[in-house]
Protein backbone atom coordinates (compact mmCIF):
# COMPACT_ATOMS: atom_id res chain seq x y z
CA UNK A 1 0.00 0.00 0.00
CA UNK A 2 1.19 3.46 -0.81
CA UNK A 3 1.64 5.56 2.27
CA UNK A 4 0.75 9.25 2.28
CA UNK A 5 4.15 10.68 3.04
CA UNK A 6 3.06 14.06 4.38
CA UNK A 7 6.03 16.43 4.57
CA UNK A 8 8.61 13.71 4.15
CA UNK A 9 9.79 11.93 1.03
CA UNK A 10 12.21 9.56 2.76
CA UNK A 11 11.49 8.08 6.20
CA UNK A 12 14.00 5.70 7.71
CA UNK A 13 13.46 3.86 11.00
CA UNK A 14 16.09 1.65 12.63
CA UNK A 15 17.33 0.49 9.25
CA UNK A 16 20.00 -2.21 9.56
CA UNK A 17 21.96 -4.37 7.14
CA UNK A 18 24.15 -7.24 8.23
CA UNK A 19 26.46 -9.29 6.05
CA UNK A 20 27.16 -12.34 8.21
CA UNK A 21 28.52 -10.95 11.46
CA UNK A 22 29.46 -7.63 9.85
CA UNK A 23 27.00 -4.78 10.47
CA UNK A 24 27.29 -2.51 7.42
CA UNK A 25 24.38 -0.25 8.37
CA UNK A 26 23.66 -0.07 12.07
CA UNK A 27 20.19 0.99 13.10
CA UNK A 28 19.93 4.32 11.30
CA UNK A 29 16.88 6.60 11.51
CA UNK A 30 16.28 9.89 9.70
CA UNK A 31 13.76 11.76 7.56
CA UNK A 32 14.22 13.81 4.42
CA UNK A 33 11.77 16.66 3.81
CA UNK A 34 10.19 17.25 0.43
CA UNK A 35 12.26 19.66 -1.67
CA UNK A 36 15.41 19.37 0.43
CA UNK A 37 18.92 18.94 -0.90
CA UNK A 38 20.05 16.23 1.48
CA UNK A 39 23.78 15.47 1.67
CA UNK A 40 24.60 11.90 2.63
CA UNK A 41 28.24 11.95 3.68
CA UNK A 42 30.63 9.43 5.17
CA UNK A 43 34.08 7.91 4.93
CA UNK A 44 34.83 4.99 2.59
CA UNK A 45 33.37 1.85 4.07
CA UNK A 46 31.07 3.76 6.45
CA UNK A 47 28.00 2.12 4.93
CA UNK A 48 26.73 4.86 2.58
CA UNK A 49 26.52 2.68 -0.51
CA UNK A 50 24.77 -0.12 1.36
CA UNK A 51 22.26 2.35 2.81
CA UNK A 52 21.67 3.89 -0.63
CA UNK A 53 21.07 0.45 -2.11
CA UNK A 54 18.40 -0.25 0.48
CA UNK A 55 16.73 3.13 -0.07
CA UNK A 56 16.60 2.60 -3.83
CA UNK A 57 15.07 -0.87 -3.55
CA UNK A 58 18.17 -2.74 -4.71
CA UNK A 59 18.96 -4.47 -1.42
CA UNK A 60 16.68 -5.85 1.28
CA UNK A 61 17.19 -4.56 4.82
CA UNK A 62 18.07 -7.07 7.56
CA UNK A 63 15.74 -5.18 9.88
CA UNK A 64 14.09 -1.82 10.26
CA UNK A 65 11.99 0.06 7.79
CA UNK A 66 12.30 2.68 5.05
CA UNK A 67 9.53 4.48 3.16
CA UNK A 68 10.70 6.19 -0.03
CA UNK A 69 8.35 8.22 -2.21
CA UNK A 70 5.47 6.67 -0.31
CA UNK A 71 6.51 3.03 -0.78
CA UNK A 72 8.07 0.54 1.61
CA UNK A 73 11.47 -0.49 0.20
CA UNK A 74 11.11 -4.04 1.51
CA UNK A 75 7.57 -4.87 0.43
CA UNK A 76 7.39 -2.72 -2.73
CA UNK A 77 10.92 -2.31 -4.11
CA UNK A 78 9.66 -2.16 -7.71
CA UNK A 79 7.29 0.71 -6.88
CA UNK A 80 10.21 2.49 -5.21
CA UNK A 81 12.36 2.11 -8.34
CA UNK A 82 9.59 3.45 -10.54
CA UNK A 83 9.08 6.52 -8.36
CA UNK A 84 12.66 7.66 -7.83
CA UNK A 85 15.44 8.90 -10.05
CA UNK A 86 18.93 7.41 -9.70
CA UNK A 87 22.32 8.40 -11.05
CA UNK A 88 25.32 6.27 -10.17
CA UNK A 89 28.92 7.39 -9.82
CA UNK A 90 29.82 5.06 -12.63
CA UNK A 91 28.50 6.59 -15.79
CA UNK A 92 25.27 4.77 -16.58
CA UNK A 93 24.25 5.82 -20.08
CA UNK A 94 24.91 3.80 -23.26
CA UNK A 95 28.08 5.00 -24.98
CA UNK A 96 27.09 3.53 -28.34
CA UNK A 97 23.71 5.25 -28.45
CA UNK A 98 23.21 8.88 -29.44
CA UNK A 99 22.12 11.59 -27.00
CA UNK A 100 18.50 11.54 -28.20
CA UNK A 101 18.47 7.72 -28.26
CA UNK A 102 19.60 7.50 -24.64
CA UNK A 103 16.80 9.82 -23.58
CA UNK A 104 14.27 7.82 -25.60
CA UNK A 105 15.49 4.55 -24.10
CA UNK A 106 15.20 5.66 -20.48
CA UNK A 107 11.90 7.49 -21.05
CA UNK A 108 10.57 4.26 -22.57
CA UNK A 109 11.81 2.14 -19.66
CA UNK A 110 9.98 4.44 -17.25
CA UNK A 111 6.81 4.00 -19.28
CA UNK A 112 6.37 7.43 -20.87
CA UNK A 113 4.04 7.49 -23.87
CA UNK A 114 5.49 7.88 -27.35
CA UNK A 115 4.04 11.37 -27.77
CA UNK A 116 5.40 12.42 -24.36
CA UNK A 117 8.83 11.03 -25.18
CA UNK A 118 9.13 13.19 -28.29
CA UNK A 119 8.31 16.34 -26.33
CA UNK A 120 10.61 15.27 -23.51
CA UNK A 121 13.61 14.75 -25.81
CA UNK A 122 13.28 18.25 -27.28
CA UNK A 123 12.70 19.89 -23.90
CA UNK A 124 15.60 18.15 -22.26
CA UNK A 125 18.07 18.80 -25.07
CA UNK A 126 16.95 22.43 -25.18
CA UNK A 127 17.40 22.94 -21.45
CA UNK A 128 20.85 21.38 -21.53
CA UNK A 129 21.86 23.50 -24.52
CA UNK A 130 22.83 20.31 -26.38
CA UNK A 131 21.07 21.00 -29.68
CA UNK A 132 24.32 20.60 -31.62
CA UNK A 133 25.15 17.38 -29.82
CA UNK A 134 21.76 15.74 -30.26
CA UNK A 135 22.95 13.12 -32.75
CA UNK A 136 26.34 12.56 -31.14
CA UNK A 137 27.24 9.21 -29.65
CA UNK A 138 27.31 9.59 -25.89
CA UNK A 139 30.71 7.85 -25.80
CA UNK A 140 32.18 10.81 -27.69
CA UNK A 141 30.99 13.44 -25.20
CA UNK A 142 33.32 14.97 -22.61
CA UNK A 143 32.77 13.67 -19.05
CA UNK A 144 31.12 16.89 -17.90
CA UNK A 145 28.44 16.69 -20.60
CA UNK A 146 27.86 13.02 -19.87
CA UNK A 147 27.23 13.73 -16.21
CA UNK A 148 24.86 16.61 -16.96
CA UNK A 149 22.98 14.41 -19.42
CA UNK A 150 22.83 11.51 -16.96
CA UNK A 151 21.35 13.81 -14.33
CA UNK A 152 18.73 15.17 -16.72
CA UNK A 153 17.83 11.61 -17.74
CA UNK A 154 17.49 10.53 -14.11
CA UNK A 155 14.68 13.13 -13.94
CA UNK A 156 13.03 12.09 -17.22
CA UNK A 157 9.99 10.53 -15.50
CA UNK A 158 9.68 13.52 -13.15
CA UNK A 159 10.27 11.60 -9.92
CA UNK A 160 9.64 13.39 -6.61
CA UNK A 161 13.11 12.38 -5.37
CA UNK A 162 16.41 11.65 -7.09
CA UNK A 163 19.43 9.80 -5.65
CA UNK A 164 22.83 10.99 -6.89
CA UNK A 165 25.85 8.85 -6.00
CA UNK A 166 29.04 10.94 -6.28
CA UNK A 167 27.83 12.72 -9.40
CA UNK A 168 30.76 15.14 -9.66
CA UNK A 169 33.77 12.82 -9.21
CA UNK A 170 36.61 13.89 -11.49
CA UNK A 171 34.81 16.63 -13.41
CA UNK A 172 36.45 20.04 -13.87
CA UNK A 173 35.69 22.81 -11.36
CA UNK A 174 33.49 24.82 -13.70
CA UNK A 175 31.40 21.83 -14.81
CA UNK A 176 31.14 20.74 -11.17
CA UNK A 177 29.48 24.06 -10.39
CA UNK A 178 27.24 23.91 -13.44
CA UNK A 179 26.15 20.51 -12.22
CA UNK A 180 25.25 21.94 -8.84
CA UNK A 181 23.24 24.67 -10.51
CA UNK A 182 21.20 21.93 -12.17
CA UNK A 183 20.66 20.48 -8.71
CA UNK A 184 19.51 23.87 -7.36
CA UNK A 185 17.17 24.29 -10.29
CA UNK A 186 15.61 20.86 -9.81
CA UNK A 187 15.32 21.54 -6.10
CA UNK A 188 13.72 24.95 -6.64
CA UNK A 189 11.15 23.18 -8.83
CA UNK A 190 10.28 20.88 -5.93
CA UNK A 191 12.38 17.77 -6.59
CA UNK A 192 14.04 16.33 -3.51
CA UNK A 193 17.76 15.66 -3.96
CA UNK A 194 19.60 12.94 -2.06
CA UNK A 195 23.30 13.25 -2.86
CA UNK A 196 26.67 11.75 -1.82
CA UNK A 197 30.00 13.43 -2.49
CA UNK A 198 33.66 13.46 -1.49
CA UNK A 199 33.97 17.18 -2.26
CA UNK A 200 33.15 18.70 1.09
CA UNK A 201 32.64 22.22 -0.26
CA UNK A 202 29.59 20.65 -1.91
CA UNK A 203 28.30 19.62 1.51
CA UNK A 204 27.87 23.35 2.17
CA UNK A 205 25.36 23.55 -0.70
CA UNK A 206 23.02 21.09 1.02
CA UNK A 207 19.94 22.06 3.01
CA UNK A 208 20.95 19.44 5.58
CA UNK A 209 23.72 16.87 5.67
CA UNK A 210 24.23 13.62 7.56
CA UNK A 211 27.61 12.08 8.31
CA UNK A 212 27.95 8.31 8.62
CA UNK A 213 30.75 6.68 10.59
CA UNK A 214 31.02 2.89 11.03
CA UNK A 215 27.47 2.21 9.89
CA UNK A 216 25.84 4.84 12.11
CA UNK A 217 24.68 8.40 11.49
CA UNK A 218 26.87 10.46 13.82
CA UNK A 219 25.50 13.88 12.92
CA UNK A 220 22.62 15.34 10.94
CA UNK A 221 21.89 19.04 10.67
CA UNK A 222 22.22 22.11 8.49
CA UNK A 223 25.84 22.87 7.50
CA UNK A 224 25.60 26.08 9.55
CA UNK A 225 24.57 24.25 12.74
CA UNK A 226 27.16 21.50 12.23
CA UNK A 227 29.95 24.07 11.89
CA UNK A 228 28.76 25.89 15.00
CA UNK A 229 28.46 22.69 17.01
CA UNK A 230 32.00 21.57 16.17
CA UNK A 231 33.35 25.13 16.30
CA UNK A 232 35.02 24.94 12.89
CA UNK A 233 34.94 27.03 9.71
CA UNK A 234 33.94 24.49 7.12
CA UNK A 235 32.38 21.10 6.50
CA UNK A 236 35.75 19.54 5.70
CA UNK A 237 36.80 20.09 9.32
CA UNK A 238 33.45 18.84 10.63
CA UNK A 239 33.94 15.68 8.60
CA UNK A 240 37.51 15.07 9.69
CA UNK A 241 36.62 15.64 13.36
CA UNK A 242 33.74 13.20 13.24
CA UNK A 243 35.31 10.55 11.06
CA UNK A 244 38.53 10.49 13.06
CA UNK A 245 36.49 10.11 16.25
Partner 1 sequence: MNKVIINIENIYKYYGEIKALENISFSIGKGELFGLIGPDGGGKTTLIRILTTLLKPTRGNAQINGLDIVKDFKKLRKQIGYMPGRFSLYEDLTVEENLKFFATIFNTSIKENYYLIEDIYTQIEPFKDRRAGKLSGGMKQKLALSCALIHKPDILFLDEPTTGIDAVSRVELWDMLKKLKKQNLTILVSTPYMDEAKLCDRVAFIQKGKIMEINSPLTIIEEFEEPLYSVKGDDFYHLLLELRKMKITKTAFPFGDSIHLTTNRNIDTHELNDMIEKRIGARTETKKINANIEDCFMAKMINNM
Q: Which residues bind partner 1 (CB under 8 A)?
A: 42-46, 142-144, 166, 169-175, 177, 180-181, 184-185, 187-188, 198-201, 204-205, 223-224, 234-236, 239-240, 243-244
Smallest separation, CB 15 to partner 1 (Å): 21
Smallest separation, CB 157 to partner 1 (Å): 24
Of 146 and 157, CB closest to partner 1: 146
> Based on C-alpha coordinates, what's the Rg of the chain?
18
Of 74 and 201, CB closest to partner 1: 201
CA distance 167 to 70: 25
Smallest separation, CB 22 to partner 1 (Å): 12
Of 118 and 198, CB closest to partner 1: 198
Of 8 and 199, CB closest to partner 1: 199
Q: 10 Å Cβ neighbour count for 171?
A: 20
In Å, how far are 25, 141, 156, 243 from 219, measured between CA atoms? Answer: 15, 39, 33, 11
Of 56 and 187, CB closest to partner 1: 187
With beta carbons less than 8 A apart as the criterion, state whether 224 and 238 touch: no
Smallest separation, CB 142 to partner 1 (Å): 6
Bridge partners of residue 209, in order along the sequence: 39, 221
Smallest separation, CB 167 to partner 1 (Å): 13
| Element at 33 (helix H, strand E) | strand 22-33
CA distance 190 to 215: 30
Cα 172 to its chain centre, rounded Å, is 20
Of 169 and 216, CB closest to partner 1: 169
With beta carbons less than 8 A apart as the criterion, state whether 157 and 112 touch: yes
Smallest separation, CB 12 to partner 1 (Å): 22
Q: Is the dihedral of CA 51, 53, 57, 59 positive or negative?
A: negative
Amino acid sequence: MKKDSGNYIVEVENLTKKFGSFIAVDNISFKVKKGEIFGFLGANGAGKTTAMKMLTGLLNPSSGKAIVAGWNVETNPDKVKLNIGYMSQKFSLYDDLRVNENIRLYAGIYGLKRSEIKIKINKLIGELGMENLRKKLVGDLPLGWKQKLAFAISLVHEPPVVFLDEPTSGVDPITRRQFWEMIYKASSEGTTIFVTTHYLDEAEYCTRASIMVDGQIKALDTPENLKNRFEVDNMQEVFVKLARG
